[in-house]
Chains A and B, each alone.
Chain A
Amino acid sequence: MTLADDVLAGDRRALARVLTLVERAAPEAREILAALYSATGRAHLVGITGAPGAGKSTLINALAAQLRASGDTVAVLAIDPSSVFSRGAVLGDRIRMQDLVHDAGAFVRSMASRGAVGGVARASAAAIDVLDAAGFDRVLIETVGVGQSELDIAALVHTVVLVEAPGLGDEVQAIKAGVLEIADIVVLNKGDLPHADIALRTLTLALSLAQPAAGAAAWQPRLQRTDALSKHGIEGLRAALDAHRTHAREGTRWAEQQAVRAKAALVSELREQLYTSFMEQLPPAQLAEIVAAIAARTRDPYSTARHLLAAHS
């Protein structure tokens, strides 16, 4: 049995190990991903984004329990930023996900963004594929949203959930940054807090403005109030997720998303493999010589790259 076989057979340790290999871009990762690929494409991929402290992890804990109660298996990929100074990270999302620890139908993995722009780690697309292939019905991906970075997650998932909380002034931020437009479901979490009513009204208004005159086939973003700590509104959130999944599958969204991801995966793989194979045939001494010449301004990088490529093919 290969590691990929073990993952397909539901071996959690093998799954954890493969996620590490994929994250580290280990040499054997590509072969494993190739072996797993045909088993991907089944899970409902849900991005859960929002400002730090909005309650994303707490909400995932409650939502996952709700999904598990209805029989679905759930994987969580919790992505946090790495320190720009040390490249290290403290990944603390599990603190809020204690209800999932002893559940054999749930799996939680923390991941550092390792400097990838836009909150979503570079390896996250591959990690999502691995969790999908492992057979989880739902994959929930937590990412820290700061302004534009939510846009990255939209390309990776079927359903985008934007989590807001009263008092963060986020409603206004979201409207400015155009983040609301990518949300399929907007959650006002911490619905128990004093300013929740005002925040809810602001969001309702903002949503109605953000979605001008859509056609009948278009998805109308849902707004759901929750209190993740006491698990209020979670049933409604699950219903909204299911409604969106049905909508995506019956309409074009699901197929479009598959196509977008397929292309992105192929393009990034081509780029990577072309570069690697090209560099492998370029002797280090020759490379050093060329670099020195470019540094000395006797050659320029632009035409040099073109000549090298022409000689290669």
Chain B
Amino acid sequence: MSRSQLRVLIAKPGLDGHDRGAKVIARALRDAGMEVIYTGLRQTPDMIVEAALQEDVDAVGLSVLSGAHNVLVPAVLQALQARGLGDVPVFVGGIIPEDDAAALRAQGVSAVFGPGTSTSEIIRVMESVVADRPPVN
């Protein structure tokens, strides 16, 4: 029915113990009318992908602050591919140098949001990427 009510998984891969950023974005997306599934800290790529599959989300948002984005993000992309979820848009938020961001986009990340990105910008980009996706089935 409604493409308007997006279901989004927000996940925090890696080992660092901070998820304030992830929680802030989860709440902002909720306030924009989305249904946000938040999975908590220390998620492995396989855990993230399994959750994305079970929850049938329209998009996956990864919050990466540990600096390990060059390892973690491609691992999630690969795990998604392996489970047949390669068409689910992936967004990344965190402190990520522009060169790395470009590399991540080249590998299939839909958008990378730096610390300065406003929540309204994040919401606008997510909605437009998901809307551009061909409908499933």
Contacts and interface: CB of A to CB of B under 8 A. Distances in A.
| Chain A partners chain B | yes
Interface residues of B, number: 31
B38 interface: yes
21 contacts: A13-B56, A13-B84, A16-B56, A17-B137, A20-B7, A20-B56, A26-B1, A82-B35, A86-B30, A86-B31, A87-B33, A88-B30, A88-B33, A90-B38, A91-B38, A92-B40, A94-B51, A101-B50, A107-B54, A110-B37, A110-B55
Given A3-B137, A102-B46, 4 more contacts: A24-B2, A87-B5, A88-B33, A109-B54
Contacts, number: 81
Nearest to B58: A20
B56 A17 contact: yes
B7 A12 contact: no
Interface in A75-95: 82-83, 85-92, 94-95
Contact of A109 (B31, B55, B137): B55
List the 4 shortest-distance A-B pairs measured between CB atoms, nearest first. Answer: A95-B40, A88-B30, A16-B56, A24-B1
A91 B37 contact: yes
Most buried by A among B30, B38, B46: B30
From A88, A107, A108, name the one whose CB has the most chain B CB atoms within 10 angstroms: A88
B47 A95 contact: no
Contacts of A83: 30-31
Given A3-B137, A13-B84, A108-B54, A89 B35 contact: yes
B26 interface: yes
A191 B7 CA distance: 36
A21 to B, nearest CB: 9
Nearest to B28: A88
B56 A94 contact: no
A19 interface: yes
- Pick from A3, A12, A94, A98 the residue with the most CB of B within 10 Å: A94
Nearest to B36: A90
Interface of B: 1-2, 5, 7, 26-27, 29-40, 46-47, 50-51, 53-56, 83-85, 136-137
Interface residues of A, number: 30
Contacts of B36: 88-91
B53 A16 contact: yes
Nearest to B42: A98
Contacts of A26: 1
B31 A25 contact: no
Given A17-B56, A95-B39, A85 B7 contact: no
Contact of A91 (B2, B5, B35, B46): B35
A102 B31 contact: no
A226 to B, nearest CB: 22
A92 B38 CA distance: 5
Contacts of A98: 40, 47
Contact of B51 (A20, A86, A101): A101
Nearest to A26: B1
A47 to B, nearest CB: 20
B115 to A, nearest CB: 21
A102 B54 CA distance: 11
A43 interface: no
Given A20-B7, A88-B32, A88-B34, A13 B53 contact: yes
Residue among B35, B50, B83 with most chain A CB within 10 A: B35
Contacts of B84: 13
A112 B56 contact: no
A83 B32 CA distance: 10
Interface string A1-35: 00100000000110011011000111000000000
